[in-house]
A and B are shown apart, each in its own frame.
Chain A
Amino acid sequence: MVTSSMSCGRLAGWISATVLLQILGLWLFVSGFFPVKPTVPGFSGPESYRMPTCEDVLVDERRDLLPDQLAKMYMDLSQIPPAFDRMILMVIDGLPAEFVLGKDGQPPEKSLMEAMPYTQFLLSERRAIAFHAKAAPPTVTMPRLKAMISGAIGGFLDVAFNFNTQAFLDDNLLDQFYQIGWKLVMFGDDTWIKLFPSLFRRYDGVSSFYVKDTVEVDFNVSRHLEVELAANDWKLMILHYLGLDHAGHIAGRHSLLMTSKLKEMDDTIRMIHTHNTLNGDDDGRRTLLVVVSDHGMTERGNHGGSSYEETDSLALFADLWSESLVYAPNMHNEVFQVDVASTLALLFGVPIPKNNVGVLLIEAFNSLTDEHKLRALELNSWQLLRLLQVHLPHLLCRDLREGARSGQVLQSNEYFDNIEEKLHHLYSKAKAAHTLWKLSERDSSGRSENSTNSYNAVASYYDFLRYGSEWLSHRATDKPMKLIFSGVVLLLLSSVLLFYLLFLQFKDHGTERKFGSALKNCSYVWHLDETFVSLGTFLHIFSLGASSMVEEEQYTWHFLSSTLCLILFYMTMVSFLKEQKTVSVEMKETKLDLHQSQITHISAATYTTRVILMKPLHTYFQKYSLLIVLICGRILRGWHQGGVNWVHLPDISKWLEQASSSCMKALEITSLLLVIMLSLFALSLLKSRTRYVLIASFGIVVLGFLVLLHIIENQPVNRSTSIAQIFYFNFGILVFGTFVLPPWILPLNFQEHTLLMKKSSNSHSSAVKTDGVLMGIQDSLYLVGVMYASSWCLLQLLLQQPVNAIPMLLIFVQTMACIIYFSASGHHRQLVEVAAVYFLGMAGHFYLGNSNTLATIDVAGAFIGISSYSMVFPSILMFIITFSSPILSYLSMLVCISTKDIVSLSLPERPDLSQLLKLMIAFPCLLPLVLNSSVLTTFTLILLVMRNHLFVWSVFSPKYLYVCAGTLSVYIGLYVVAVTVVYTCTVFFFRAKLLKFGNS
């Protein structure tokens, strides 16, 4: 009957091979798409004023220094007199440098020139210098601000691994300033406050949420100016204007709004520039005005990608004190945004941040002498060398000083293929040129020669700095396409293989189904559910291409799962209509059919008896269990207003949070009791001996009691760890016990069945024995599955937020009701059954308040019962909390498997272990893998296509992390299922064999 084209072992081998292939492909893609650049931890200190050596020893010498002493020490060490004392950093969000500087050597359009008269005046009078500062993608505000103040180009994963704190922890200018005792004030975009929650003495953050508002956001910044400019206490003032960016978003790059906004910005610059207190006060305190933009904008006013319009941001330096021509005439310099960091660090005499890849802008140092300029370049080179050393550990172990000795380095200009050699050569050359300049300076022979030497030194320093900087920044931003594409190809390959395996299973199953189909001929409605499963999967995958649909994915899942349930309900109603019509006739037919089929008449007879016995119960269950699933689903949907854009709408959880805590506690306890009762009820359904069931029930009750203790004792401030730890311990023992013991303990079910068989026909004993084994396996799997699912739920009740207690209960009820429905109805293929459980699991993931942003991850719950800080356990707990519902659905596949009538359906007289296993777990394991891999592969492709999309970092990449973690949950859940089933079956067959030997 079963024409097994592929044995169970081979199938398992193939599946594991494809899974491994998938993991490999995923790893390749992730490591290619999210490059993790090695960052140097810690903050730069006095060591940055020393030449780096081969073995750099990090000694923190600042520890016991007061801010003033530290500032003094930095000044002494750097040997550069600080050019300025105070700084105003004015960030104009989204201002393209083209508006101020023009493009390709051409001045900007006349209207734009006229919109910013004062800025243009400053530039033409050479009292300010401006650059096209090329920003690195993603051109959105937060990463760009980070780049400007740390000089580093960050990757996506450092944000993701930062759990959900957005605070900036790497070395950066603001922290450096703060350490030398500066007072910082900030007005404008609240991104700054997110980055530095405790740094600013005074601040007023404005949110950029209401994009339509272009006036208020800027007024809220400017209204502080009058007071703050007169104030004397701050050393750094940050002004972040959002209005221009908003204007761009509303009406594009060339709108009328833009001109008026530019005018407003120009007025602000004029106000600052002409303000009395800043124009060099009595103490000779000088203020530097830095006007920067974080990114540019496209023609339509958007940003995020890497086109020239978006990356073309501005960096303008204006010396407020000097009246004369300070700066060189504007040369339309193209520099990089990260250069701002090192420039400001050197201008204000703090160490350059450790991860800086920028190069100082020598034009901004015009007020300094040659000696100081070269010293600044030297300091920058040392910092860069330190960073390069992290990537190329042997770089500094060559004798760098050899260059200083030999003059020929200056001339040699050969081609280097080794990056290390090239860097080494460039640095030696710069070093030599610097020494040469020093010598000639000491001789002070001729001014002209001296200036040539200095020019040479600057140029060769620049050669080195630019080369090193570009090499470093390419390492951070370049996506190795080879890696990415090989990853994608592997993922595609594994998906295709999985589909093929599923198809093979289908073919096998199709032949097996023939007998099953004889049981109930629902020929017409049959395929509606299957069609919908494939259509729904396809639609879901398709919907992931749109950013809004990704953000609001919970609607899609709810819609799909409830539609599937409605379709099942519809089919039930149709068959109900029909059954009423011909109920007696059908019964007879069924019996007739069964008795006609010769091969499996024994098992079929068992089935018939079962059907007759269970019939009323089944129809009763069937109708109402689906209604329960549907109603629970609707309540769950109203529980959390998930997603991103409509989170503020009212929902049950918000309403509950306003209610008293005792009410919440009561709900928690109620749901706990209901979960316990439900699992006890599920256990009591087991037909075999009750003694073992009693032990299992006792375990559940103990776990429940611990959770109850935890809920009662739980104070919001001081969470008790001991109860949680006891719970984890008991949970571990119980789960391990239920995995190991039941197959050995549960009876093989001989007696009752021989009785039953005698009634129906004179069977030969071997078939009965197999039957007994199968019944035992089913019972055992049922027991294990229910235990897994209910202890998992109890674990969730412990870990989840109190507000999620009822949803957890409802999800449990839903899953159980769904399984009861499928166990009662015969006319669905296993495909639909597994898919429905999978759909419910995915919908439940969102019902629990999860979304596709990293912000909804419950970090607080991850520290329950953890006494010492470590990264591993909280991460595991976080994973358990986040993917509770999908994993629950995979675990309850065990119950699904056990309630299938494998006894009666399509088994040969003597099924061997391999065939049985294949029949049991091929579909439940393969189908979730296929569904998940189709999502994974498609979303990988989408991410690849969308890599320049505005939301690639805020929407698509977080979702990708969720998809990856979801894949992991599929692997874990299915692995548990497969191992349990294989173990149980093996043990039972072993026991049957033992029994046989014992008898003979």
Chain B
Amino acid sequence: MMAVSEITTPKAAALHLLCSLSLLVVHWVACNLYSWSLITHTSETLGLCLIVHGPIVIGVYSLVRRDRQHCSYWMAVARGLLGLPVGALVMAFGAIVLGAPVGIRYLKRTAYWSLLMSIFTFVPPACVFGSSRVDWHRIFAHFKPEESLDALVSLPAYGSVIGAWIGAWPMPLDWERPWQAEFSCVGISCTVLEARDHMHHCGVAALSFRVISIREIRCGFYHLRPLIFLVQVVSCLHHIRMPCTFVPMKKVNRG
């Protein structure tokens, strides 16, 4: 086995900071320069994310590649680029199986999203470990990483997968009322909160996933639906009758 700690803490912190920063920059650019949001300009925002975040991730993770003796920097970059479409295929399969719509109309969005997810999950281990089966198995089979390099690779990946899964949870609400829109602000701040620690990809992944997977049921496009769902259920249980506020859509049900 390799040495226990190949990467120092400041280095790891810098890496995370860089990745998070790039995402924040994308968010800022999309919001302020183009006034895009994931809701209105899904594929554009995702594409921007890809262009900015992708090279940074590949570049940074290639720096911390494991076997430096045998593998040059550019080799690691090439591995990452090779891992990108493979991971995207896996992610697209997962998304479609979980309910993302299939069709020409959605092709671009699904492609962008799965490329982005691939950057979050597959590209870092591809850059760092290459095709070493042992390392891949260790990364995928163990939730508790033992080495800091493992943590650097696996935790963001798990975070984004879990975040994407949560974001894809079907939420067939009909968003008719202002209070529901207000929750989008809460959602954004929660995304920022989530961006701390190793989970910095989770929020964005959740956001992006939600956009393509639930589009089919018309309602989607609101930030952090899990939270709203929670609020709704809690309010139901406490019989505050909050759900009544968005009922008009469903007046068909009278009788």
> Is B251 within 8 A of A208, CB to CB?
yes
* B10: Cβ under 8 A from any A Cβ: no
B contact patch SS: helix
In residues 18-69 of chain B, which contact A (Cβ within 8 Å)? none
On chain A, the residues within 8 Å of B252 by CB distance are 207-209
On chain B, the residues within 8 Å of A555 by CB distance are 99, 170, 172, 217
- In the bound complex, how far is the Cα of B165 from the Cα of A558, in angstroms? 13
Task: Give the residue of B98, B140, B244 whose beta carbon is less than 8 angstroms from that of A950.
Answer: B244
In residues 131-161 of chain B, which contact A (Cβ within 8 Å)? 133-134, 136-137, 140-143
- In the bound complex, how far is the Cα of B254 from the Cα of A191, in angstroms? 9
* B97: Cβ under 8 A from any A Cβ: yes
With a 10 A CB-CB cut-off, give which of A140, A580, A645 has the most chain B CB atoms. Answer: A645
> Is A191 within 8 A of B248, CB to CB?
no
Question: What 0/1 pattern do residues 543 to 555 of A give for CB contact below 8 A with B?
Answer: 1011111011001
Task: Give the residue of A558, A559, A577, A955 whose beta carbon is less than 8 angstroms from that of B253.
Answer: A955
- In the bound complex, how far is the Cα of B173 from the Cα of A140, in angstroms? 21
- In the bound complex, how far is the Cα of B248 from the Cα of A211, in angstroms? 6
> Is B244 within 8 A of A577, CB to CB?
no
Chain B minimum-CB-distance residue to A579: B137
On chain A, the residues within 8 Å of B94 by CB distance are 566
Task: Give the residue of A208, A542, A551, A649 whose beta carbon is less than 8 angstroms from that of B233.
Answer: A542
On chain A, the residues within 8 Å of B172 by CB distance are 548-549, 551-552, 555, 643, 645-646
Q: List 24 A-B contacts (CB under 8 A).
A: A166-B255, A249-B251, A524-B143, A539-B169, A545-B232, A545-B236, A545-B237, A547-B250, A552-B172, A555-B170, A559-B99, A563-B165, A566-B94, A566-B97, A574-B140, A581-B133, A631-B97, A634-B99, A644-B250, A649-B216, A649-B217, A942-B236, A942-B237, A949-B241
Task: Give the residue of A574, A577, A950 whose beta carbon is less than 8 angstroms from that of B247.
Answer: A950
A208 in contact with B244 given A559-B99, A580-B133, A649-B216 (CB within 8 Å) = no
> Is A634 within 8 A of B97, CB to CB?
yes
> Is B141 within 8 A of A524, CB to CB?
yes
- In the bound complex, how far is the Cα of B165 from the Cα of A562, in angstroms? 12
On chain B, the residues within 8 Å of A545 by CB distance are 232-233, 236-237
User: Which are the 3 A-B pairs with shortest beta-carbon distances?
Assistant: A142-B255, A555-B170, A954-B253
On chain A, the residues within 8 Å of B233 by CB distance are 542-543, 545-546
A249 in contact with B99 given A646-B172, A646-B218 (CB within 8 Å) = no
> Is A194 within 8 A of B247, CB to CB?
no
- In the bound complex, how far is the Cα of B253 from the Cα of A955, in angstroms? 8
Task: Give the residue of A142, A549, A562, A566 whose beta carbon is less than 8 angstroms from that of B254.
Answer: A142
* A409: Cβ under 8 A from any B Cβ: no
Chain A minimum-CB-distance residue to B233: A545
Q: How large is the interface on A (under 10, 10 to 19, 20 to 34, 35 or more residues)?
A: 35 or more
On chain B, the residues within 8 Å of A634 by CB distance are 96-97, 99
Task: Give the residue of A140, A142, A577, A630 whose beta carbon is less than 8 angstroms from that of B133.
Answer: A577
* B13: Cβ under 8 A from any A Cβ: no
Question: What 0/1 pattern do residues 78 to 112 of B give for CB contact below 8 A with A?
Answer: 00000000000000001011110010000000000
In residues 639-692 of chain A, which contact B (Cβ within 8 Å)? 643-646, 649
Chain B minimum-CB-distance residue to A195: B255
In residues 164-219 of chain B, which contact A (Cβ within 8 Å)? 165, 168-174, 216-218
* A32: Cβ under 8 A from any B Cβ: no
On chain A, the residues within 8 Å of B243 by CB distance are 546-548, 949
A contact patch SS: helix
- In the bound complex, how far is the Cα of B176 from the Cα of A302, in angstroms? 14
In residues 909-943 of chain A, which contact B (Cβ within 8 Å)? 942
- Shortest B141–chain A CB gap in Å is 5
> Is B255 within 8 A of A249, CB to CB?
no
> Is B254 within 8 A of A208, CB to CB?
yes
Chain A minimum-CB-distance residue to B248: A211
On chain B, the residues within 8 Å of A548 by CB distance are 172-174, 243
Chain B minimum-CB-distance residue to A140: B254
* B73: Cβ under 8 A from any A Cβ: no
> Is A556 within 8 A of B170, CB to CB?
yes
On chain A, the residues within 8 Å of B137 by CB distance are 574, 577-578, 581
On chain B, the residues within 8 Å of A249 by CB distance are 247-248, 251
* A174: Cβ under 8 A from any B Cβ: no
- Shortest B4–chain A CB gap in Å is 20
> Is B133 within 8 A of A566, CB to CB?
no
> Is B236 within 8 A of A645, CB to CB?
no
On chain B, the residues within 8 Å of A562 by CB distance are 97-99
> Is B98 within 8 A of A573, CB to CB?
no
A142-B255, A191-B254, A546-B229 are known contacts; what are 6 more A-B pairs with Cβ within 8 Å? A211-B251, A577-B133, A631-B97, A634-B99, A649-B218, A942-B236
* B11: Cβ under 8 A from any A Cβ: no
Chain B minimum-CB-distance residue to A245: B251
> Is A573 within 8 A of B140, CB to CB?
yes
- In the bound complex, how far is the Cα of B196 from the Cα of A313, in angstroms? 55
On chain B, the residues within 8 Å of A194 by CB distance are 255
Chain A minimum-CB-distance residue to B246: A548
On chain B, the residues within 8 Å of A212 by CB distance are 248
> Is A581 within 8 A of B96, CB to CB?
no
- In the bound complex, how far is the Cα of B139 from the Cα of A578, in angstroms? 12
On chain A, the residues within 8 Å of B72 by CB distance are none
* B1: Cβ under 8 A from any A Cβ: no
> Is B249 within 8 A of A211, CB to CB?
yes
Chain B minimum-CB-distance residue to A191: B255
On chain A, the residues within 8 Å of B247 by CB distance are 249, 302, 950-951
Chain A minimum-CB-distance residue to B238: A945
* B5: Cβ under 8 A from any A Cβ: no
Task: Give the residue of A207, A524, A630 whose beta carbon is less than 8 angstroms from that of B97.
Answer: A630
* A143: Cβ under 8 A from any B Cβ: yes
- In the bound complex, how far is the Cα of B142 from the Cα of A382, in angstroms? 80
* A300: Cβ under 8 A from any B Cβ: yes
* A637: Cβ under 8 A from any B Cβ: yes
Chain A minimum-CB-distance residue to B173: A548
On chain A, the residues within 8 Å of B236 by CB distance are 545-547, 942, 945-946
On chain A, the residues within 8 Å of B102 by CB distance are 638
> Is B255 within 8 A of A578, CB to CB?
no
> Is A209 within 8 A of B170, CB to CB?
no
In residues 525-582 of chain A, which contact B (Cβ within 8 Å)? 525, 539, 542-543, 545-549, 551-552, 555-556, 558-559, 562-563, 565-566, 570, 573-574, 577-578, 580-581
On chain B, the residues within 8 Å of A556 by CB distance are 170
* B239: Cβ under 8 A from any A Cβ: yes
- In the bound complex, how far is the Cα of B252 from the Cα of A191, in angstroms? 10
* A633: Cβ under 8 A from any B Cβ: yes
With a 10 A CB-CB cut-off, give which of B96, B98, B233, B239 has the most chain A CB atoms. Answer: B98
On chain B, the residues within 8 Å of A735 by CB distance are none
On chain A, the residues within 8 Å of B133 by CB distance are 577, 580-581
- Shortest B104–chain A CB gap in Å is 14
Task: Give the residue of A566, A570, A573, A581 whose beta carbon is less than 8 angstroms from that of B134.
Answer: A581
